[in-house]
A = this chain, B = another copy of it.
């Protein structure tokens, strides 16, 4: 037997017992004739004491131990002289009478500590060592617990988890598919699913009425920070429901997770915000509402006063940064530099200091006097001591730049506390987006999203104005999930494909099976999918999804630990009837 207890288990009540522990050597230190060893497993750390004067046989193994050796030790639990209140096992130690070295270890390339000395690349290559660190173990435990809680909640609500296939069909819509050549069906390919969307709709047509799945999805996109080629969704669908049935169900799921995972009671209804309001007030379809700082449009008020930047702008708007009137010139210059970064994209920044003494100082004093500036301040609910920050330009770009500025000010003002959570439903997204390049509409969510019932009539007249019966769950400015009521009528679906520029033949070839299924009694249905990686990293208080994924890929889609992807043998290519074309340099 390798162990009677884990390394996180022993307490004062165990004093006097003989126990066996197994784990990794975390630290060793000698002190007089004694050797102290910290042995670690995922449950904790326990201190071992070797008294060589009493057990001379232990001298040699004790001396040979290095960091990360795997050992099994037997001994007696004794009270510790100097108790360590920071450790759950800190009241006791084990007086060892037997050590077995189960496996040796070379010196690890970085320390196995909460704050390791290993760089990102090294930690990715030795991921199995990185995963020994406590923050990662806690993150994966949290993720596991979230999975259990999601499943039990939905199970108790009558949902079935039903597995949908991974080897499916490539469709050129949406993001790029990963494809899988078929050997048995020559020159043909499967695709890996970007989501189980069509299958969950088929399950609704099949009468399953409450489906969910925690499932891997795949997108062959160029990777940005926090994107992985494979990611996990909590995918859900319900039949015989209207929008608010779905919002209620999954708001309750979210509340259950807040309570069971974070210990947070949310006793209010999540606010709902129109997409249009989110865009005009926060410049963003996933506003972080942990803090207010909404935009105020000044366009009409400030134009035609002789300031050409304003007069040429399509939109002028600003935010009020509380208590920032004391910002120095240098700080304001830095902020200006910030908004001019290409990621933010503003041309410049106008400031108005509403000083504590009631006076105004602005970068546009030449064009606006104190009285005028005061009307700005009033519109923006500013008090003496506040700072108004204004951007002007093309509407969309300006809203987006203001959004970046707002988040930056939120961060500077400490308004984005990781332990505070502000959930929000964003609703009534546009159904279609006009794409100037291809001169056609794209589906903002996907082609199966239903218009709002009251907008249905605009399909033939003004499709760009139709709002979708779609919704996103946003927490702290992170899009945690989204969904919609789906189209379940074959004629409406055909109309939708037509609006998206599909020919009848294209629609038939790609989605014929779904259109066909709609002919045999499709019920009204809708659903939602949550990004499990993101939700877990939000709850874990981590900035990146990587650390809630055991074996993530790097920004080139590589697993540097197993060195994948890699070349495959010619015989494999032959079986698949494939030739590779040499890459151009």
Give residues in A with beta carbon < 8 Å to B: 1-3, 22, 24, 40-42, 68-70, 72, 102-106, 108, 126-129, 131-132, 137, 140-141, 143-144, 147-148, 151-152, 155, 160-170, 172, 176-192, 198-199, 202-203, 205-209, 216, 218, 220, 222-223, 229-230, 232, 240-242, 488-489, 512-513, 517-524, 549-551, 553, 556-559, 561-569, 572, 575-583
Contact = CB atoms under 8 A, between A and B. Distances in A.
B187 A572 contact: no
A179 B521 contact: no
A215 to B, nearest CB: 9
A528 B168 CA distance: 29
Of the candidates A2, A216, A564, the one having the most CB atoms from chain B within 10 angstroms of its own CB is A564
Contacts of A166: 166, 192, 216, 218, 230
Nearest to A21: B240
A191 B565 CA distance: 8
A163 B523 contact: no
A177 B513 CA distance: 28
Contact of A203 (B108, B550, B558): B550
Given A550-B162, A559-B168, A240 B2 contact: yes
Contacts of A169: 559, 562-566
Contacts of A218: 166-167
B209 A42 contact: yes
A268 B124 CA distance: 47
Contacts of A563: 169, 512-513
A184 B556 CA distance: 7
A206 B128 contact: yes
A377 B132 CA distance: 63
B523 A172 contact: no
B188 A566 contact: yes
Given A24-B521, A129-B206, A167-B230, A162 B148 contact: no
B189 A568 contact: yes
A176 to B, nearest CB: 7
A24 B160 contact: no
A239 to B, nearest CB: 8
A187 B583 CA distance: 7
Tally of this chain's copies: 2
A573 B172 CA distance: 12
Nearest to A188: B565
B572 A179 contact: yes
B556 A70 contact: no
Nearest to A183: B220
A160 to B, nearest CB: 4
A258 to B, nearest CB: 20
A2 B188 CA distance: 43
Contacts of A104: 521
A583 B576 contact: no
Given A102-B523, A576-B179, A163 B216 contact: yes
A2 B241 contact: yes
A328 B575 CA distance: 52
Contact of A520 (B108, B168, B523, B583): B108
Nearest to A104: B521
B148 A520 contact: no
Given A185-B557, A522-B70, A565-B185, A165 B230 contact: yes
Contacts of A2: 240-242, 524
A417 to B, nearest CB: 29
A578 B577 contact: no
B190 A565 contact: yes
A191 to B, nearest CB: 8
Contacts of A24: 207, 521
B160 A128 contact: no
10 contacts: A40-B207, A102-B523, A127-B202, A144-B160, A148-B155, A165-B553, A167-B229, A169-B565, A189-B566, A216-B216
Given A2-B242, A230-B165, A524-B102, A566 B208 contact: no
B581 A578 contact: yes
A521 B103 contact: yes
Contacts of A553: 165, 167
A230 to B, nearest CB: 5
Nearest to A532: B163
A136 to B, nearest CB: 8
Contacts of A128: 202-203, 205-206, 517, 520
Given A148-B155, A512-B563, 9 more contacts: A40-B207, A42-B209, A68-B520, A103-B489, A103-B523, A104-B521, A106-B520, A131-B203, A578-B578
Nearest to A107: B520
Contacts of A576: 179
B183 A180 contact: no
A169 to B, nearest CB: 4
Nearest to A165: B551
